[in-house]
A and B are shown apart, each in its own frame.
Chain A
Amino acid sequence: NAGVTQTPKFQVLKTGQSMTLQCAQDMNHEYMSWYRQDPGMGLRLIHYSVGAGITDQGEVPNGYNVSRSTTEDFPLRLLSAAPSQTSVYFCASRDSSTNEKLFFGSGTQLSVL
């Protein structure tokens, strides 16, 4: 059972470059989300989705785009990377029941130079 799979694990970008962080889950979860984790800031929600074709903004959405064309995949796109986007990114999913735990991926460490 793979759970939540994130790729890549590490990435270095130059300012202005674009890239997509991949996230896939094999548990048929309706809810998927992206967080960024910065020192002293805890986890901050970027975007989330409650099902295929439905996405919404979280606490810090600026500079990021998402789409949800399938239940399994929820990619996060950086259109023009900035040094302020240097962070560790986590994808998480869960069943639609609100008492259930979140399943997290192992993270992507992104550096923007």
Chain B
Amino acid sequence: GNSVTQMEGPVTLSEEAFLTINCTYTATGYPSLFWYVQYPGEGLQLLLKATKADDKGSNKGFEATYRKETTSFHLEKGSVQVSDSAVYFCALDGGSYIPTFGRGTSLIVHP
């Protein structure tokens, strides 16, 4: 079956540091890949997505590239802000109605 593995958190960074959150997946076929973000006290919202190999999704300074050869979709940002503190979820959509989520990675950014 499909699965998504994310690095465990929390990830703690100082403001303006470089961020990487690793995500790898197992799926049959050619899934679509997503990153969702959950700010404190809120529901998840889509951050970015990629639907085919070598696509790069980007939004709000975050980027992730769909790497089929390494089955990865790592999230990166060049300079994090305190306002980026949140929980980040990697997810895949393998062609059924039900997406598969990773367990989430908490990011804490200090001033």
CA distance A105 to B38 in the complex (A): 11
Q: What total of A-B pairs shows CB separation below 8 Å?
A: 50
Q: List 12 A-B contacts (CB under 8 A).
A: A4-B43, A33-B98, A42-B101, A42-B102, A43-B101, A45-B98, A96-B97, A99-B32, A99-B51, A104-B44, A105-B43, A106-B43
CA distance A107 to B45 in the complex (A): 12
* Contact across chains for A50 and B44 when beta carbons are under 8 A apart: no
Give 19 A-B pairs besides A42-B104, A107-B41 with Cβ atoms closer than 8 angstroms. A42-B89, A42-B101, A43-B104, A58-B98, A92-B43, A96-B97, A98-B93, A98-B95, A99-B32, A99-B49, A101-B34, A101-B46, A101-B49, A102-B44, A102-B99, A104-B43, A104-B44, A105-B43, A106-B41
Within 8 Å CB of B74, what residues of A? none
Given contacts A98-B93, A99-B51, contact A107 B43 (CB under 8 A): yes
Q: B103: CB under 8 A from chain A? A: yes
Within 8 Å CB of B95, what residues of A? 98
Which 3 pairs between the two chains have the least Cβ-Cβ distance? A104-B43, A42-B103, A101-B46
CA distance A92 to B51 in the complex (A): 20
Q: Which residue of B lies closest to A109 (CB)?
A: B41
Taking Cβ atoms with an 8 Å cutoff, the residues of A that contact B are 4, 31, 33, 40-43, 45, 48, 50, 58, 90, 92, 96, 98-99, 101-102, 104-107
CA distance A43 to B36 in the complex (A): 12
Q: What secondary structure prevails in chain B residues at the interface with A?
A: loop
Within 8 Å CB of B28, what residues of A? none
Contact with A along B20-51 (1 / 0, CB 8 A): 00000000000010101000011111100101
* Contact across chains for B96 and A98 when beta carbons are under 8 A apart: yes
CA distance A4 to B104 in the complex (A): 22
CA distance A31 to B46 in the complex (A): 17
Given contacts A98-B32, A104-B43, contact A41 B99 (CB under 8 A): no
* Contact across chains for B97 and A31 when beta carbons are under 8 A apart: yes
